[in-house]
Amino acid sequence: MSTNTLIAVIAAAVVVVIVLSAILWLLARRRHLRDRFGPEYERAVEEKGGTLAAERELHAREERHDKLDIKELPPERRRQYSEEWSGVQEHFVDRPAGAVDEADDLVSRLMTERGYPTEGYQGAVRDLSVRHSRTLDHYRSAHDVRVRSAKGQATTEELRGAMVHYRALFEELLTDQRSR
């Protein structure tokens, strides 16, 4: 075998190894993002119009989240938040729409104290999606009802559902005490 043929075979083998490595890396990254983001992965693919764009977005969310200073809450603060949540639920009987507003406010304050920026609803969704993707649909549903409630378009049953949805995220934020 001539030297040129040997170099061509080695070069082709190197190219094949590089291509296979890139494919395996992309598949591992995709699997990681699917596992981490759960249903949020599919939502991102749909919103971004393709997997590559969605994966870039989700990776950017991870990088942003890694820069956040997410804090654990001391047991006393967790207890105080739990008591406050009980009060919000009690208000639902007399003022369903007001209780939903209070629930949203309480969730926002808890997010802020934990270290999540609360620069608007979309920003909160983006930042929560990294560690709380499984309860993110609860947050979206509750927010949608709250917006409709502000226009006088939500039924009491929908407001009750919003409280259930807020509670799911609230409990997860309160009990998930892993920092970073």
Neighbours of 46 (CB within 10 A): 10
Mean pLDDT of 63-75: 91
Query: CA of 102: how far to CAs of 90, 95, 132, in Å?
Result: 11, 10, 21
Q: What is the pTM of this model?
A: 0.80
At residue 179, does pLDDT exceed 50? Answer: no
Mean pLDDT of 13-19: 92
Q: What is the pLDDT of residue 178?
A: 59
Beta-carbon contacts of residue 34 (< 8 Å; ≥ 6 apart) = 41
Query: Any idea what the Cα angle at residue 114 is, between residues 109 and 120, rounded to 5°?
Result: 50
Whole-number Å distance between alpha carbons of 144 and 1: 71
Both structure tokens of 80: 């105080």
- Identify residue 156 by its one-letter amino acid code: T
Give pLDDT tens digits for 36-56.
Answer: 898 899 999 999 999 999 999
Give pLDDT tens digits for 108-164.
Answer: 999 999 999 877 888 899 999 998 888 899 999 999 999 999 999 999 999 999 999
